[in-house]
Amino acid sequence: MYMDILQRLGDLRELMTREHLAAFIFSSTDPHQGEYVPDHWKGREWISGFNGSAGTAVVTLESAALWTDSRYFIAAEEQLRGTGFQLMKLKMPGTPTIAEWIGKECGAGAEVALDGWCSSANAVRELIADLRRQGGITLRTNLDPLAQIWRNRPPIPENPITIYPLEYAGETAHDKIARIRKALRERHADGMLMTALDDIAWTLNLRGSDVHCNPVFVSYLLISSKDVTLYINKVKLSPEVVAYLKTEGVGVDDYENVAKGLKDYFEYNILLDPDEVNYVLFKTVTREIVEEESPVKRMKTVKNEREIAGFRSAMLKDGIAMVKFLYWLSGISGKSGLFGLSGETELSISDKLASLRAEQPLYRDISFDTIAGYGEHAAIVHYEPTPETDIPLQPKGMLLLDSGAQYLDGTTDITRTIALGPLTEEEKKVYTLVLKGHIQIELCKFPSGSSGTQIDILARKDMWREGLNYLHGTGHGVGTYLNVHEGPHQFRMEWKPAPLVAGMTITDEPGVYLPGKFGVRIENTLLITPYKETEFGQFLQFESLTLCPIDKTPIVWEMMLPEEIDWLNRYHQRVFDTLSPYLNDEETAWLRDACAEL
Amino acid sequence: MYMDILQRLGDLRELMTREHLAAFIFSSTDPHQGEYVPDHWKGREWISGFNGSAGTAVVTLESAALWTDSRYFIAAEEQLRGTGFQLMKLKMPGTPTIAEWIGKECGAGAEVALDGWCSSANAVRELIADLRRQGGITLRTNLDPLAQIWRNRPPIPENPITIYPLEYAGETAHDKIARIRKALRERHADGMLMTALDDIAWTLNLRGSDVHCNPVFVSYLLISSKDVTLYINKVKLSPEVVAYLKTEGVGVDDYENVAKGLKDYFEYNILLDPDEVNYVLFKTVTREIVEEESPVKRMKTVKNEREIAGFRSAMLKDGIAMVKFLYWLSGISGKSGLFGLSGETELSISDKLASLRAEQPLYRDISFDTIAGYGEHAAIVHYEPTPETDIPLQPKGMLLLDSGAQYLDGTTDITRTIALGPLTEEEKKVYTLVLKGHIQIELCKFPSGSSGTQIDILARKDMWREGLNYLHGTGHGVGTYLNVHEGPHQFRMEWKPAPLVAGMTITDEPGVYLPGKFGVRIENTLLITPYKETEFGQFLQFESLTLCPIDKTPIVWEMMLPEEIDWLNRYHQRVFDTLSPYLNDEETAWLRDACAEL
């Protein structure tokens, strides 16, 4: 593999020399600022070999470096070996910023470049300012070297689109567009350009399969006070979809025509979210720009009654599949005996779990690549087993399993950490701290409009007393048969102003990762519901949508508060009552034991 | 009183008519953005009668309104009665913004005014933008009507200045200025204008008495890469101070010359904090402006070893005075008998406490007006008793006592809520919830650099479960023989980006206020100290600097966690061990009982 990388770096440097460029910057995203991107835009992975979801690669004529966050430190270290890329660990002391590093490597006055289609307006504007401070380095944004040097580059996907039934969506596209127009008027905007693929899919009640695990389709949506235009490769549209779009008042134009559409946009102003719209399109606009967060982002996160019913249905099915899987795993894991793990590996159990999910009605796909990390692999936060890294499970230690599915009625995301046999005291203590953190979030009641930054600490406070922490967020929104990561609300240490309101989904997934030893994460997906209204306003609470037992065997009971034990008992009772009607006798017996009160 | 107000409003409206102004806006601050302001600048209080520390008054030709926050709702309601001022409750549903209200009252195209000296650059710029959105209302900023209509206006204070000894300051002015210049260079700034009076006092190791309870003096400080100039009324400077300033490298010019000094400033750029520098001075500058938070703000909050030693000394003395007071109060409160409260009132006990503090070495003043609220008065968050509102204490219910002192070696701030006799179940429950919140902050360990927004919830989570809350922050920094409110770090629900680091002081003061019933607040001043360093970085902890027993009689013990009881026992043991050597036999016996383990 690294030989390929060296060849590609050679081709790139040749092109850079021709273009008089001192460096080229590869972002991790695409013209739609997606987290998962179609292969066509995986330029950063192609040039560096690093396949994590977040990372920026920079190549100079002499050197190369890749910036990524703590989730990927271990994976990146391995994937970059032999490529010449130096790993830059974000948020670690001593790590230079991209601009600082370029300043040092290229010197004042250099010209560097990136593809302005594949970075947001804000990202590019910040980079331009940062580079200017490095003795005046300038940035060129109109070059995509991959068009010249990437042989056999995958095309932009052309998969067919389907209509998302109203019984699951709960609101017509026509009505959503009316709400969006109202939100635009409140922001004194005449129209907007929508570029986020999940926002477009949600608005139009359409789904596609252009992006791995995310049922979205590559397109832009331009809304003015009079028209709505979908910019898309028309080959994707069946006659049925064409007719549907017409009914909902949506016109269609070619994907390549979006820049022309923006140039021709004739109203006084247009709302563009500078964190979402790519730099090239942003610069195309000649009208007044209202720079604000896209109002669709937040509208999409507040689920309506049909969507919530769909989530409950999807979670029931997902819980059944998970319990069938855990029952199967317990049979071979030696927990109920000592007969070993029958040659099962991280990959084989991931396949087993996927096949059990696929048996459920309305199953469509997994919602992200399964993270099945056994033993020290679990300390690699976003470890996804490959044939090269796959290892057999053994009847000891812990398995971290983070997985989810796309059902037509909802998207799921669940993590369990499962003891496969005897554990060390450290494993038990850390497991218990993570579980306490998880439960403290579940128990939280809070004023409507609180931010996830306020609530996040409840998952961490007990581990902080032990000097432990985790550097990822504690939770993210989940889409309705859409992206498993849905913003803007989150639980995290960093400031997230998005207020939490009733109807939002959010995951609760604290963890602790000890490199070379083990990792623990416990995750449910929660729904925000009303709690009580008092003279101090409306208070909200969380309801666990996820239905699956949490392994009790690693728990150090003396570390648990009575309210935490009580929550676990109540949760397990609900899991048992809800799932057992759908299980056979053996599975029910196993579940009864797994959910037994303490 | 309200007759005076009506007269003043008449005079103002006459002037407004002459000047063709539709409205005049009175901010609550002064040219130095102080929280406490010299009487000379108390224009908002003079025009409206409302004396709270925060509030904005707006007067039109026909109407008048005053905006303030929840701390002052009840007090403002009473003080505004009969004045024609309508109370506008900030952060309450339905309350219009100042611009919205002016838009409705004055209509599009109107011209309104404020005194640009008495609002920050950011506040005025925001107001200009908000007013423009109200159909194009314009703002005039060069008029101080008070100069014309305020008869017998108090002059700008001219009190003498003293040198703050190095044994308490711990660092010379010369060294501080060198550190400030280094911080300016890091921000690519050549100089700065300092306008916050506590920043100037801290930088120069000088103290004054121009502002109630705050040992500061009215002045500006202009720092360039070569010179430092103090703009001050020279009558305040003794020959000793003049000589001292010369030694430290600080020149002196008249207070009125600051605008001229800014016009003459010749370097390439200058750092101005737009939240601190007033609009008029901000607009005076002709050089490039570096808009950033004043680096002095944060430098001042991290205490050096001498300052921390001073805090410990001041807290010891304050604890002795508080225990002598509580012992005295217990003797008359009927707690140890049933002989009533001897005619004591909110005001008389405030005087008693002040006199006990005044007996302590290096005592200089109280650090803010004592909040002594008995019974339902305690529900008025910042209630300060006056001869008109004063009520006698009775042997039942609770007394909320929030007080502090200025000692030459440190500033104190403490709140205790004290049972004077039998309590209701509701009083006990609320008291216990507040105490649990207080202790959860005390127990918190956290990564260095965390924000107060993250930690704040620990004080609230238990009361939120009961649908209770308080709308003020949970804590603020405390100065070193300086302002009792010292920013920028805070514990609060709103976002405060200032990172918490070792050496900072911060109060821990959750509360609950039930209007018409009672109020509870429990406050210690904490010091941030190192806890442990692990592979996850440096963790910090809190140490209570305040030494005074917390009333145990209202506690509902079943609601307390073992770790909370344990903290209280350990704290009380430390209080007893530290204070008892300084008390007489009766006081010691009382303290032993108050600190007895549970």
Q: Which of A443, A458, A495 sits opposite B497 (nearest CB)?
A: A495
Give the chain A residue nearest B133 (alpha carbons). Answer: A188
Could you report the predicted ipTM of this complex, rounded to two decimals?
A: 0.92
How distant is the Cα of A234 from the closest Cα of chain B, in angstroms? 42
Instruction: Kindly determine whether residue B539 and residue A467, on different chains, have CB atoms separated by under 8 Å.
Output: yes
pLDDT tier for residue B6 given thresholds of 50, 70 and 90: very high
pLDDT at site B227: 96
Higher-pLDDT residue of A595, A34 = A595
Which residue in A162, A142, A148, A122 sits closest to A33, CA to CA? A122
Q: Is A454 near chain B, with CB under 8 Å?
A: yes
Q: Which of B453, B465, B493 sits opposite A445 (nearest CB)?
A: B465
Percentage of the residues of chain B whose pLDDT score is greater than 70: 98
Euclidean distance between CA atoms B84 and A56, whole angstroms: 61
CA B400 to chain centre: 18
Give the chain A residue nearest B530 (alpha carbons). Answer: A467
How distant is the Cα of A353 from the closest Cα of chain B, in angstroms? 33
Burial-class residue B170 by CB neighbours within 10 Å (0-12, 13-18, 19+). middle
Instruction: Kindly determine whether residue B445 and residue A468, on different chains, have CB atoms separated by under 8 Å.
Output: no
Q: Is A558 near chain B, with CB under 8 Å?
A: no
Query: Helix (H, G, I), strand (E, B), or coil: what is residue B346?
Result: helix
Query: Helix (H, G, I), strand (E, B), or coil: what is residue A562?
Result: helix
pLDDT at site A526: 98
Euclidean distance between CA atoms A462 and A470, whole angstroms: 12
pLDDT tier for residue A338 given thresholds of 50, 70 and 90: very low
pLDDT, mean over chain A: 95
Instruction: Kindly determine whether residue B457 and residue A453, on different chains, have CB atoms separated by under 8 Å.
Output: no
Give the chain A residue nearest B468 (alpha carbons). Answer: A536
pLDDT tier for residue A429 given thresholds of 50, 70 and 90: very high
Q: Is A561 near chain B, with CB under 8 Å?
A: yes
Across A226-255, average pLDDT: 97
pLDDT at site B331: 85
Contact list, B189 vs chain A (CB under 8 Å) = none
For residue B589, is pLDDT > 90?
Answer: yes
Instruction: Kindly determine whether residue A447 and residue B453, on different chains, have CB atoms separated by under 8 Å.
Output: no
Check: CB of residue B409 under 8 Å from CB of residue B169. Answer: no
Instruction: Kindly determine whether residue A539 and residue B464, on different chains, have CB atoms separated by under 8 Å.
Output: yes
- Dihedrals φ, ψ of A107, to 5°? 80, 165
Across A179-199, average pLDDT: 96
Instruction: Kindly determine whether residue A444 and residue B467, on different chains, have CB atoms separated by under 8 Å.
Output: no
pLDDT at site B48: 97
Query: Helix (H, G, I), strand (E, B), or coil: what is residue A418?
Result: strand
Name the maximum alpha-carbon separation found in chain B: 74
pLDDT digits (tens, 9 = 90+) for A68-90: 998 889 889 999 999 999 999 99
Q: Chain A interface, mutation test: which of B434, B512, B536, most A Cβ atoms within 10 Å?
A: B536
Euclidean distance between CA atoms A13 and B543, whole angstroms: 57
Give the chain A residue nearest B469 (alpha carbons). Answer: A536
Across B357-363, average pLDDT: 98
Q: Is A495 near chain B, with CB under 8 Å?
A: yes
pLDDT at site A333: 66
Euclidean distance between CA atoms B46 and B154, whole angstroms: 11
pLDDT at site A139: 97
Q: Which of A457, A467, A536 sits opposite B467 (nearest CB)?
A: A536
Q: Is A132 near chain B, with CB under 8 Å?
A: no
For residue A339, is pLDDT > 50?
Answer: no
Check: CB of residue A26 under 8 Å from CB of residue A44. Answer: yes
Instruction: Kindly determine whether residue A467 and residue B497, on different chains, have CB atoms separated by under 8 Å.
Output: no
pLDDT at site A340: 55
Instruction: Kindly determine whether residue B461 and residue A444, on different chains, have CB atoms separated by under 8 Å.
Output: yes
Q: Which of A451, A457, A531 sits opposite B455 (nearest CB)?
A: A457
Q: List alpha helices for A157-238, DSSP H.
A: 166-169, 173-186, 197-204
Q: Is B453 near chain A, with CB under 8 Å?
A: yes
pLDDT tier for residue B334 given thresholds of 50, 70 and 90: low
Higher-pLDDT residue of A333, B511 = B511
Across B36-57, average pLDDT: 94
Across B379-399, average pLDDT: 89
Percentage of the residues of chain A whose pLDDT score is greater than 70: 98
Contact list, A537 vs chain B (CB under 8 Å) = 469
- For chain A, the distance separating the N- and C-terminal CA atoms, rounded to the nearest angstrom, is 52
How distant is the Cα of A381 from the closest Cα of chain B, in angstroms? 15
Euclidean distance between CA atoms B392 and A517, whole angstroms: 66
Contact list, A530 vs chain B (CB under 8 Å) = none
Q: Which of A446, A453, A467 sits opposite B536 (nearest CB)?
A: A467
pLDDT at site B337: 44
For residue A530, is pLDDT > 60?
Answer: yes
Burial-class residue B564 by CB neighbours within 10 Å (0-12, 13-18, 19+). buried
Q: Chain A interface, mutation test: which of B133, B465, B470, B535, most A Cβ atoms within 10 Å?
A: B465
For residue B340, is pLDDT > 60?
Answer: no
How distant is the Cα of A247 from the closest Cα of chain B, in angstroms? 37
pLDDT at site B333: 66
Instruction: Kindly determine whether residue A469 and residue B447, on different chains, have CB atoms separated by under 8 Å.
Output: yes
pLDDT at site B383: 83
Give the chain B residue nearest A496 (alpha carbons). Answer: B495
CB atoms within 10 A of CB B516: 8
For residue A341, is pLDDT > 90?
Answer: no
Contact list, A453 vs chain B (CB under 8 Å) = 451, 453-454, 495
Q: Which of A447, A467, A533 sits opposite B532 (nearest CB)?
A: A467
Cα distances (angstroms) measured from residue B110 to each of A556, B88, B103, B106, B124: 69, 22, 8, 6, 17
Instruction: Kindly determine whether residue B458 and residue A457, on different chains, have CB atoms separated by under 8 Å.
Output: yes
- Dihedrals φ, ψ of B386, to 5°? -125, 165
Burial-class residue A495 by CB neighbours within 10 Å (0-12, 13-18, 19+). middle
Q: Is A446 near chain B, with CB under 8 Å?
A: yes
Q: Chain B interface, mutation test: which of A461, A514, A539, most B Cβ atoms within 10 Å?
A: A461
Instruction: Kindly determine whether residue B536 and residue A454, on different chains, have CB atoms separated by under 8 Å.
Output: no
Burial-class residue B97 by CB neighbours within 10 Å (0-12, 13-18, 19+). middle
Contact list, B467 vs chain A (CB under 8 Å) = 445, 531-534, 536, 539
Instruction: Kindly determine whether residue B464 and residue A456, on different chains, have CB atoms separated by under 8 Å.
Output: no
Give the least confident one: A301-310, B336-345, B546-555: B336-345
Q: Is B565 near chain A, with CB under 8 Å?
A: no
Which residues fall within 8 angstroms of residue A375, CB to CB, at 6 or more apart?
A391, A394, A397, A398, A518
pLDDT digits (tens, 9 = 90+) for B553-578: 999 999 999 999 999 999 999 999 99
Across B452-478, average pLDDT: 97
Instruction: Kindly determine whether residue A536 and residue B461, on different chains, have CB atoms separated by under 8 Å.
Output: no
Across B178-185, average pLDDT: 97
